[in-house]
A = this chain, B = another copy of it.
Amino acid sequence: MFNITVISVGKLKERFFQQAVEEYAKRLSGYCKFQLVELPEYRLPEDPSPAQIAEGLAREGQLIREKLPRGAWFCVLTPEGKKLSSEGFAAALAEVKNSGRSAACFLLGSSFGIAPEIKALADLRLSFSDMTFPHHLARVMLLEQLYRAESIQAGSRYHK
């Protein structure tokens, strides 16, 4: 079974978003071996300087590296990323599977983003929208798109 890991930096506070994530994680588990890894956001002072932000991202980057599954195809969610349709996203995932890889990993950064050295490791930089969504909602959106991508590949009716 294909492995999908989502690494997410920052805690989900709202109970309803936690429940939405749990629901899609459960559904995803019907299609793949799914794992959600939640990493702590580095605590920054209010109005942090650019240097403090860079330091925070670098620290988060160290934790992310430790959690990256070895050999996994790696996708980061970032505003400057490529835009795909849901079908295009499903096709990208299908291609990863066809290439013989057994795992994919998706990264949602903290509210200040993702360290450049982590972005440099990515096989795909992906953007969902020109709009900015809060971290917790982005996590629900990502899990829903992963579930949708799997259901498109499986030819189920969910996405129609």
Contacts and interface: CB of A to CB of B under 8 A. Distances in A.
Interface in A1-28: 14-17, 19-20, 23
B16 A85 contact: no
Contact of A128 (B14, B23, B88, B131): B131
Contacts of A131: 84-86, 89, 128, 145, 148
A96 interface: no
A72 interface: no
Nearest to A46: B157
Contact of A20 (B16, B89, B133): B16
Nearest to A128: B129
Interface stretch (A30-38, A115-123, A134-142): A134-142
